[in-house]
């Protein structure tokens, strides 16, 4: 069977499951041997992970290759996935590690994301996801993209996941493997940094960014 | 311009699926992850064990060398306590505890807890376990006996070192009371430079005022720490502390 025919067979004829089949259920079936269903998960996540990678890495030349590696790792490590947990957090965790490695290769200098981080070490008040109006959220998202490049990686990643990927603190905590309180404190500090960046750019940000 | 992105995406997906079909990409089995988890657990348990044993040995050393009593000897006592404290073992234990905390953070529950709590938890667990091993078992005393009889490889010198008397220069001495009378005790001092303190070198008269409370405390056969200056084989009006006696050398 040629590659093209095989792909059509998998994706269009036999294995495209109904939209309500969850990622977790697909992962379970892959664990049981239906490896072809990885194609469905890849379809669901390629754009999301590529978008995440483009925002995370400044040099975006090899993002497609990194994302491809993420899917290969996903398949290789699928038996370690606990199907009672969220698949999206798990695959984003794999992608996050891959992008951090990509970032290290890009910088070829000192590692900017050391294993020891005081934010993770200290205890912080439990932060709850604040409620943001939809319109305000859209405007804020647009503004954030402009200042993203100037943020430190550890702040950049929480801002991308929270504002641009629209994830909860809990999901971000599972992806970055840091306490929820740490996610909250990083979001707050990232907003403070963004505020400073925008002030330097002479942009009016008070309307959007409340750091207290 | 024609949008080629979906085609590229399909090609990449197709490529991975094809590699899977051709067994070029293999899935790690559940056994692989179970073994990995087992290896991780064994590593954590081994670090825990070594850390607890080190902690208990440090406590044993502190107790055996009478370090808590040195505080009563003023500045010289504190200096000596600082000098004989097993710093290297202490630092190794701290490194092991930090390593333990770091490994715990890599578990499915560990990352949800702030590092400070994990570290404090590890310190408490290791500390309490070390205390229990030191105070409720005869493990270290037995090891010391084996070290004395040269039947303890690797850690033997570490144990034999516990028997060392205080080093010279601090005017603090350790010895065994061999006689006691009106206003004096006779003490056989342990030498610092012997590996195993079975060889005694000097006997000193330790003279007290007749009303000294030390006289009622001291009995023949006890091990004591004495601070003071030896002049012509005598120490006058010293400070004295009875310390636990180590098991005798066989």
- In sequence order, the β-bridge partners of residue B26 are none
A121 touches chain B (CB under 8 A): yes
User: Do A71 and B16 make contact, defined as CB atoms within 8 angstroms?
Assistant: yes
* B153 Cβ contact partners less than 8 Å away, ≥ 6 residues apart: none
Q: Is the same domain home to A7 and A79?
A: yes
Number of domains making up chain A: 2
Q: Is the same domain home to A29 and A98?
A: yes
Say if A191 falls within a structural domain.
yes
A4 contacts on B by Cβ (under 8 Å): 14
Q: Is the same domain home to A8 and A63?
A: yes
What does the angle CA A169 – CA A172 – CA A173 come to, to the nearest 5 degrees? Answer: 85
pLDDT tens, position by position, B205-224? 888 776 777 777 788 888 88
Determine the distance in angstroms separating the CA of B2 from the nearest CA of chain A, rounded to an integer: 18
Q: Is the same domain home to A125 and A101?
A: no
Euclidean distance between CA atoms A140 and A106, whole angstroms: 29
B119 contacts on A by Cβ (under 8 Å): 121
A41-73 burial, b at 16+ Cβ within 10 Å, e below that, comes to bbebbbeebbebbebbbeeeeebbebbbbbbbb
Say if A181 falls within a structural domain.
yes
Structure tokens at A177: 């493997």
Q: Of A107, A126, A161, which marks where a domain is finished?
A: A107
pLDDT tens, position by position, A43-100? 999 999 998 998 888 666 788 899 999 999 999 999 999 988 899 999 999 999 999 8
A84 touches chain B (CB under 8 A): no
Which of A36, A76, A123 lies at the smallest CB-CB distance from B17? A36
User: Do A46 and B18 make contact, defined as CB atoms within 8 angstroms?
Assistant: no
Instruction: Calculate the dihedral angle through the C-alpha atoms of B11, B14, B19, B21, rounding to the nearest 10 degrees.
Output: -160
Q: How many CB pairs below 8 Å do chains A and B form together?
A: 94
Q: Is the same domain home to A82 and A20?
A: yes
User: Do A120 and B114 make contact, defined as CB atoms within 8 angstroms?
Assistant: yes
DSSP string, A90-127: HHHHHHHHHHHHHHHHHH-SS-SS-S--HHHHS--PPP
Q: Of A87, A107, A127, which marks where a domain is finished?
A: A107
Which of A7, A122, A124 lies at the smallest CB-CB distance from B14? A7
Q: Of A82, A107, A132, which marks where a domain is finished?
A: A107
Which of B5, B26, B114 to substitute to test the interface with A, most A CBs within 10 Å? B114
Residue span of the structural domain in which A96 resides: 3-107
Q: Is the same domain home to A103 and A160?
A: no
Q: For the whole model, what pTM was predicted?
A: 0.78
The domains found in chain B, sorted by start residue, are 30-161 (no CATH), 165-243 (2.40.50.1010)
Q: Is the same domain home to A101 and A170?
A: no
Q: How confident is the model at residue A10 (pLDDT cuts 50, 70, 90)?
A: low
A60 touches chain B (CB under 8 A): no
Which of B8, B14, B101, B117 to substitute to test the interface with A, most A CBs within 10 Å? B14
What is the rounded average pLDDT of the residues B163-167? 86
Q: How confident is the model at residue B123 (pLDDT cuts 50, 70, 90)?
A: very high
B205, B238 contact by CB (below 8 A): no
DSSP string, B80-132: HHHHHS-HHHHHHHHHHHHHHHHHHHTSTTGGGS-HHHHHHHHHHHHHHHHHH
- Span between the terminal Cα atoms of chain A, in Å: 61
| Secondary structure of residue A159 in the 3-state scheme | helix
Which of A75, A124, A177 lies at the smallest CB-CB distance from B25? A75
Query: What pLDDT, on a 0 to 100 scale, did the predictor assign at position B103?
Result: 92
Euclidean distance between CA atoms A157 and A151, whole angstroms: 9
Structure tokens at B141: 């005393």
Which of B13, B38, B110, B121 to substitute to test the interface with A, most A CBs within 10 Å? B13
Q: How confident is the model at residue B140 (pLDDT cuts 50, 70, 90)?
A: very high
Say if A113 falls within a structural domain.
no
| Secondary structure of residue B201 in the 3-state scheme | strand
Say if A205 falls within a structural domain.
no
Say if A210 falls within a structural domain.
no
Q: Is the same domain home to A26 and A95?
A: yes
Report yes or no for ipTM above 0.95.
Answer: no
């Amino acid at each position: 069977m040629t590659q093209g025919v095989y792909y059509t067979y998998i994706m269009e004829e036999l294995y495209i499951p109904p939209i309500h089949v969850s990622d977790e259920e697909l992962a379970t079936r892959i664990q049981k041997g239906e490896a072809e269903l990885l194609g469905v998960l890849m379809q669901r996540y390629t754009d999301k992970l590529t978008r995440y990678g483009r925002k995370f890495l400044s040099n975006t030349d090899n993002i497609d290759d990194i994302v491809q590696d993420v899917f290969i790792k996903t398949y290789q490590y699928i038996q370690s996935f606990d199907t009672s947990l969220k698949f999206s957090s798990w695959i984003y965790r794999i992608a996050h590690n891959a992008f951090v490695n990509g970032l290290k290769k890009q910088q070829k200098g000192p590692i900017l994301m050391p294993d020891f981080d005081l934010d993770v070490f200290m205890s912080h008040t439990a932060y709850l996801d604040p409620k943001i109006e939809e319109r305000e959220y859209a405007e804020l998202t647009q503004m954030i993209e402009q200042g993203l490049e100037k943020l430190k990686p550890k702040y950049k990643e929480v801002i991308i996941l929270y504002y641009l990927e629209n994830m909860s603190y809990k999901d971000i905590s599972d992806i970055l493997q840091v306490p929820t309180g740490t996610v909250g404190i990083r979001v707050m500090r990232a907003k403070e940094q963004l505020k400073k960046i925008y002030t330097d750019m002479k942009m009016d940000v008070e309307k959007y960014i409340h750091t207290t | 311009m024609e949008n080629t992105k979906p085609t590229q995406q399909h090609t990449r997906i197709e490529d991975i699926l094809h590699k899977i079909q051709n067994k070029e990409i293999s899935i790690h089995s559940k056994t692989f992850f179970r073994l990995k988890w087992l290896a991780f657990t064994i590593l954590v348990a081994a670090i825990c064990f070594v850390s607890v044993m080190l902690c208990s040995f440090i406590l044993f050393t502190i107790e055996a060398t009478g370090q808590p009593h040195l505080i009563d000897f003023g500045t010289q006592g504190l200096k000596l306590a600082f000098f004989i404290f097993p710093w290297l073992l202490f630092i190794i234990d701290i490194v092991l505890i930090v390593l333990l905390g770091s490994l715990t953070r890599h578990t499915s529950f560990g990352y949800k807890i702030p590092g400070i709590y994990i570290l404090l938890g590890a310190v408490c667990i290791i500390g309490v376990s070390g205390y229990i091993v030191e105070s409720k078992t005869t493990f270290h005393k037995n090891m010391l006996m084996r070290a004395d009889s040269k039947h303890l490889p690797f850690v033997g010198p570490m144990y034999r070192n516990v028997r060392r008397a205080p080093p010279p220069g601090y005017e603090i001495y350790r010895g065994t009371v061999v006689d006691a009378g009106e206003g004096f005790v006779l003490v056989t001092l342990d030498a610092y430079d012997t590996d195993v303190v079975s060889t005694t070198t000097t006997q000193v008269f330790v003279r007290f005022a007749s009303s000294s409370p030390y006289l009622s405390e001291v009995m023949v056969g006890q091990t004591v720490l004495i601070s003071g200056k030896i002049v012509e084989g005598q120490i006058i009006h010293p400070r004295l502390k009875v310390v636990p006696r180590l098991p005798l050398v066989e």
